[in-house]
Chains A and B, each alone.
Chain A
């Protein structure tokens, strides 16, 4: 079955960077785009960005341009999301989520999600 398993919780100081991993299994990794979404406590989800199956094309939400990097390692079916210059407002659960379609063009609906990684930013 499809599984997305994320790395564990992180505690970071303001100004630091965090890198979260998402290991996929149960499907052909190179057929699907992967999204990153975050959710602060008590808030709705917020989309961060997307990477194509081969890992050479990314699109980021304008709000995070310049401080987010999403990469893939196709040899291990793992996607990474790095966010820099952290502030307390970045405290949230971070999720990887697979696009719904197996296609060169994503449909931008999210049908399989990781379990979430809590990132806490505190001095």
Chain B
């Protein structure tokens, strides 16, 4: 099983700051990686797929990069509605998810 490790566990930011979230895979997943946002009481929402492509309707402040084993989700300027938990997911071998990074208000 491919294990995804996300860091940091918690990121404390003020609105307007830049957010950088990391996801590391236990083996290469090529570019087969997605990012999801989840707010309390809601299902996850797809943000990015194939490492760098924004899903339909996702604002341009969200961007993804990386390949192989190291990936990054960047929020260029955090908006109040962006405070949530973010998960990465690989599809190289079945599907697995990371443990999440919580982006909280500083």
Interchain CB contact under 8 A, B97 and A46? yes
Compute how far the CA of A31 lies from the CA of B25 in the bound complex, rounded to whole angstroms.
31
Interchain CB contact under 8 A, A113 and B44? yes
The reply to whether the CB of B46 lies closer than 8 angstroms to some CB of chain A is yes
Among A109, A110, A111, A113, which residue has the most Cβ atoms of chain B within 10 A? Answer: A109
Interchain CB contact under 8 A, A109 and B46? yes
Q: How large is the interface on B (under 10, 10 to 19, 20 to 34, 35 or more residues)?
A: 20 to 34
Output the nearest chain B residue to A6 by Cβ-Cβ distance.
B43
Taking CB atoms, residues of chain A closer than 8 Å to B100 are 44
**A-B interface contact total, Cβ < 8 Å:** 51
The reply to whether the CB of A9 lies closer than 8 angstroms to some CB of chain B is no
SS class, residues of chain B in contact with chain A? loop
Q: Which of A43, A45, A61 contacts B44 (CB 8 A)?
A: A45
Output the nearest chain A residue to B41 by Cβ-Cβ distance.
A116
> What distance in Å separates the Cβ of A27 from its nearest Cβ neighbour in chain B?
13
Q: Which of A51-79 contact B (CB under 8 A)?
A: 59, 61-62
Taking CB atoms, residues of chain A closer than 8 Å to B89 are 45, 109-110
Interchain CB contact under 8 A, B95 and A113? no
Q: Which of B41-90 contact A (CB under 8 A)?
A: 43-46, 49-50, 55-56, 87, 89
Compute how far the CA of A107 lies from the CA of B95 in the bound complex, rounded to whole angstroms.
11
The reply to whether the CB of B99 lies closer than 8 angstroms to some CB of chain A is yes
Interchain CB contact under 8 A, B94 and A61? yes
Interchain CB contact under 8 A, A109 and B96? no
The reply to whether the CB of A29 lies closer than 8 angstroms to some CB of chain B is no
Interchain CB contact under 8 A, A108 and B43? no
A residues whose Cβ falls under 8 Å from a Cβ of B: 35, 43-47, 59, 61-62, 95, 97, 100, 107-111, 113-116
**Apart from A62-B94, A100-B49, A107-B91, what are 11 other A-B pairs with CB-CB below 8 Å?**
A44-B87, A44-B97, A44-B99, A45-B97, A47-B96, A95-B43, A107-B49, A109-B34, A109-B49, A110-B89, A115-B43
